[in-house]
Amino acid sequence: MSSRERVLGRIRRALADVTPDGRPYEEAVGRGYLREHGHRTTEETVELLAENLADYRAIVHRADADDVRMLVMRLLARRGSQEMLVPPGLPPDWLAAADPVWIHDRAASTPQQLDRVGSVVTGCAVAIAETGTIVLDGSPDQGRRRISLIPDHHICVVRVPDQVVSSVPQALERLDPTRPLTWISGPSATSDIELDRVEGVHGPRTLEVILVSGAA
Amino acid sequence: MSGTFVGMPAFPEAAREAVGNATLRGNLRHATHTIRAKRARAVAELSDWAELREAGRRIKDHTLRHLDRYLEQLEESVTAAGGTVHWAADAEEANRIVTDLVRATGESEVVKVKSMATQEIGLNEALEAAGIRAYETDLAELIVQLGKDRPSHILVPAIHRNRGEIRDIFTEEMGTWGRPAPEGLTDTPAELAEAARLHLREKFLRAKVGISGANFMVAETGTLVVVESEGNGRMCLTLPETLISVVGIEKVVPSWRDLEVFLQTLPRSSTAERMNPYTSMWTGTTDGDGPSTFHLVLLDNGRTDTLADTVGRQALRCIRCSACLNVCPVYERAGGHAYGSVYPGPIGAILSPQLRGTASEIDASLPYASSLCGACYEVCPVAIDIPEVLVHLRERVAEGGPAVRQGNRVLLKPAKGHAAERAAVRAARWALAHPAALRTGQRLASRTRRLHPRTLPGPGRAWTGTRDLPPVPAEPFRDWWQRTHGGKDTSK
Ligand code: SF4
């Protein structure tokens, strides 16, 4: 007997007491919880996102579509990054003013090569106000999972209000499970040493989020 | 479970030793109290906590009651998404599967993200015996591994170590595993974290094989979910060419939508955060992004035996948030090691004896490692009635009875030397069946607590000969809850 059959057989014997339940799954489970917590205007939702991001030690900036390029340039200059990693589909006008050399993530680049790059700029798939979370789904403006992981400085551009939802349930509705998803809430952190919070063990130690309004 | 904690003394002895260790107790108290207070705040932010908890309970219960169906669906979805599914009936088989998979890649080292399932089966030891080195990459796990130690908490495994000890371990041991600790390393947490970053980065960037567990597996889509803080999970899940995930069969949930419940309750119950810093979700393999080969090893190892117990099966709902550890007065004093398994605290006291059976002294003693105060049940985000299962297991230890071991029905004999416990069980059962009497008893005990002896008189002496009576709290938990929460139960 294969282990598959053995395990499934054990399960079926273990559940001999269970009477079959013909109800559809959603009915059997029931979902009495809320779709979002509290009522907010669109503006308030964006404000809550900014607050919760900051509470988890992301650095939050606001910009109009026209100022994004200048802001990105300033952030990179302040950081002293000579090179910056960009996903293939990043809107070019977010970068036009940036001085540093752009490095495109290529399939052939090794993790070691990416490790030498200081900063990365990406878009996002959705941002969750109640939890202060940005979600990347590997779309062309976000790139592969590794590019937002290896550099120490991540700048993430969120289009507000289009990409902002209130809650986790609303975010899941928008996401496609077949894509690789990375949910980011604040920079990498650990509390393993006497519960003192330390930013950044492995992921980027600095996360800057630009909330850009009026972008297409 | 195998490979771990062989020769552990039973809980009472181990706990007595731990209670005598002042450093350990200080660290633990600080940790549990800090997390406990934060958690209450994080939970209070959600006005629908009771409903979320109820939905979580129902989703998990429903899944367990149709586990065969959902596992088959999961297998289909993962396979369709480009992954390969393996089934392992026990620890030995799981270790063999993983060892063979690693060997097939030709690699002799792997990077690992913290996983209780792989600890449970002793995977690192099995790989080592096969000449494969497994690097733990979670900071706490690294501390534990370098310190040749055992984890003591689900969430903060090195909670029993303070910063001075960690500095010494890094300075002495890092060099033998790879990049040594920087010269003149001090004991500030930031410097210690930086030392770990440098040490581990070297391993991540060259790793060809990653091994993980998973917090959830979605049957409908084949998606696996790993929830973490540091980014070591993302490293292990993204950079290697081959990814092997070893996951207990109880971690499956039916639908994508179910994640909306657990992604709200898990982080708040666990680290008391609105959301943990990183969550990774992957469905099979994705061209050009992440591992090109993905293996999922579905692990039984006692879970189907647990499922066969109609009272005890609710333990399989556990999402390993560790909230029950942080409120447990027994855990706070005894520490995680005293439980002699990878699952410490209240959940360990009901899970380990079910996964492993109660044949050994440690497993037979675990159902007694509790004061039945009920705090664990109150905080549990999937409403596992831990006290109910504890009493049930005590009865099984004391009186014997039918059970399932490795898929076979067996009749357990009463454990030897547990005559006194049998009396205790009868008392507990009576008290639990008479809640009013229990409350009165607790209040009475509180009022007279200064008069309480450290050992029981009469026939109880045999029981307290190896155990200190837990001090009776100044106020019964239920009263405290009523007083501080005005009877409004926000935890349910
Ligand atoms: S038993 Fe409940 S509270 Fe304890 S770890 Fe599991 S889910 Fe969390």
pLDDT recorded at residue B456? 41
pLDDT recorded at residue A170? 98
Report chain A's mean pLDDT, rounded to a whole number. Answer: 90
Determine, for residues B139 and A190 on separate chains, whether the beta-carbon distance falls below 8 Å.
Answer: yes
- Please list every residue in chain B whose beta carbon sits closer than 8 Å to the beta carbon of residue A28: 58, 62
Q: Which of B254, B361, B216, B240 is nearest to B290 (CA)?
A: B240
pLDDT digit string, tens, across residues B203-250? 999 999 999 999 999 999 999 999 998 899 999 999 999 999 999 999
For residues A25 and A195, the model is more confident at A25
Nearest CA in chain A to B304: A11
Determine what percent of chain A is predicted with pLDDT higher than 90. Answer: 62
pLDDT recorded at residue B487? 44
How sure is the predictor about A82, in pLDDT bands with cuts at 50, 70 and 90? confident
Largest CA distance in chain A: 69
- Please list every residue in chain B whose beta carbon sits closer than 8 Å to the beta carbon of residue A172: 256-257, 259-260, 263
For residues B386 and B150, the model is more confident at B386
CA dihedral angle for residue B227, residue B210, residue B406, residue B412, rounded to 10 degrees: -60
Q: How far apart are CA B317 and CA A144, in angstroms?
A: 34
| Pairs of CB atoms within 8 A across A/B | 252
Determine, for residues A192 and B257 on separate chains, whether the beta-carbon distance falls below 8 Å.
Answer: no
Q: How far apart are CA B305 and CA B251, in angstroms?
A: 16
CB atoms within 10 A of CB B370: 24
HSE-CB of A215 using CA atoms within 13 angstroms? 25
Residue B458 has pLDDT above 70, yes or no: no
Instruction: Provide the 3-class DSSP secondary structure of residue B422.
Output: helix
Does B381 contact ligand 1 (Cβ within 6 A)? yes
For the ranges A125-139, B350-364, B443-457, the maximum mean pLDDT occurs at: A125-139
Does B380 contact ligand 1 (Cβ within 6 A)? yes
Q: A138 and chain B: CB distance < 8 Å anywhere? A: yes
Does B323 contact ligand 1 (Cβ within 6 A)? yes
Q: Left (φ > 0), alpha (ψ -120 to 50) or beta: where does A109 sit?
A: beta
By Cβ distance, the residue of B51, B234, B277 closest to A186 is B277
Q: How far apart are CA B331 and CA B324, in angstroms?
A: 9
How sure is the predictor about B97, in pLDDT bands with cuts at 50, 70 and 90? very high
How sure is the predictor about B415, in pLDDT bands with cuts at 50, 70 and 90? confident
pLDDT recorded at residue A27? 87
**ipTM score of complex:** 0.95
List CB contacts of B472: < 8 A, sequence separation 6 or more. Answer: B442, B445, B446, B449, B452
Q: Which residues face B227 on adjacent strands?
A: B279
Residue A106 has pLDDT above 80, yes or no: no
pLDDT digit string, tens, across residues B218-231? 999 999 999 998 89
The DSSP secondary-structure symbol of B4 reads S
By Cβ distance, the residue of B196, B277, B290 closest to A185 is B277
pLDDT digit string, tens, across residues B284-324? 999 999 999 999 999 999 999 999 999 999 999 999 999 99
Does B392 contact ligand 1 (Cβ within 6 A)? no
Q: Report, as an integer, the average pLDDT of A148-172.
A: 96
Residue B36 has pLDDT above 90, yes or no: no
Q: Report, as an integer, the average pLDDT of B170-192.
A: 90
Does B321 contact ligand 1 (Cβ within 6 A)? yes
Q: How far apart are CA B364 and CA A165, in angstroms?
A: 50
Determine what percent of chain B is predicted with pLDDT higher than 90. Answer: 54
Does B322 contact ligand 1 (Cβ within 6 A)? yes
Q: Which of B223, B214, B237, B213 is nearest to B283 (CA)?
A: B223
Q: How far apart are CA B316 and CA B250, in angstroms?
A: 6
pLDDT recorded at residue B444? 39
pLDDT recorded at residue B8? 55
Residue pair B204/A203 in contact (Cβ under 8 Å)? The answer is no
DSSP H/E element including B402:
strand B401-405
Give the atom of ligand 1 at the shortest distance from the alpha carbon of B346.
4
Q: Report, as an integer, the average pLDDT of B178-184.
A: 91
Residue B466 has pLDDT above 90, yes or no: no
Residue B279 has pLDDT above 60, yes or no: yes
* Residue whose CA lies nearest to ligand 1 atom number 2: B380
Angle at B145 between CA B140 and CA B146, to 5 degrees: 100
Determine, for residues B232 and A128 on separate chains, whether the beta-carbon distance falls below 8 Å.
Answer: no
Q: Which of B350, B246, B333 is nearest to B297 (CA)?
A: B246
Q: B259 and chain A: CB distance < 8 Å anywhere? A: yes
State residue B261 phi and psi, 5-degree precision.
-75, -55
pLDDT recorded at residue A97? 62
- Shortest Cα–Cα distance, B101 to chain A (Å): 17
pLDDT recorded at residue A48? 97
Report chain B's mean pLDDT, rounded to a whole number. Answer: 83
Which of B112, B255, B281, B305 is the best residue to mutate to test the A interface, defined by the most A CB atoms within 10 Å of its own CB?
B281
User: Residue for token digits 């950081």?
Assistant: A79
pLDDT recorded at residue A182? 98
Residue B196 has pLDDT above 70, yes or no: yes
Q: How far apart are CA B4 and CA B341, in angstroms?
A: 7
Residue B23 has pLDDT above 80, yes or no: no
pLDDT recorded at residue B425? 54
CA dihedral angle for residue A163, residue A167, residue A171, residue A172, rounded to 10 degrees: 180
Q: A65 and chain B: CB distance < 8 Å anywhere? A: no
Per the omega criterion (within 30 degrees of 0), is the bond before A161 cis? Answer: yes
Q: B229 and chain A: CB distance < 8 Å anywhere? A: yes
Q: Report, as an integer, the average pLDDT of B471-485.
A: 56
CB atoms within 10 A of CB A95: 18
Which residues of chain A from 97 to 136 reach within 8 Å of chain B, CB to CB? 107, 110-112, 115, 128, 130-133
pLDDT recorded at residue A19? 87
Residue B148 has pLDDT above 50, yes or no: yes
Distance B24 CA to ligand 1 centre (A): 23
pLDDT recorded at residue A100? 66
For the ranges A197-201, A211-215, B94-98, the maximum mean pLDDT occurs at: B94-98
pLDDT digit string, tens, across residues A24-70? 898 888 899 999 999 999 999 999 999 999 998 999 999 999 899 99
pLDDT digit string, tens, across residues A111-157? 888 888 889 999 999 999 999 999 999 999 999 999 999 999 999 99
Q: How far apart are CA B315 and CA B388, in angstroms?
A: 11
Q: Left (φ > 0), alpha (ψ -120 to 50) or beta: where does B340 sit?
A: left
pLDDT digit string, tens, across residues B40-96? 889 999 999 999 999 999 999 999 999 999 999 999 999 999 999 999 999 999 999
CB atoms within 10 A of CB A60: 17
**Model's pTM, two decimal places?**
0.87
pLDDT recorded at residue B161? 81
Residue B452 has pLDDT above 60, yes or no: no
Residue A107 has pLDDT above 80, yes or no: no
pLDDT recorded at residue B12? 66
H-state helical runs in B274-315: 303-307
A98-110 burial by CB neighbour count: b if 16+ within 10 A, else e?
A: bebeebebeeeee
Determine, for residues B67 and A56 on separate chains, whether the beta-carbon distance falls below 8 Å.
Answer: no
For residues B481 and A70, the model is more confident at A70
pLDDT digit string, tens, across residues B98-122? 999 999 999 999 999 989 999 999 9
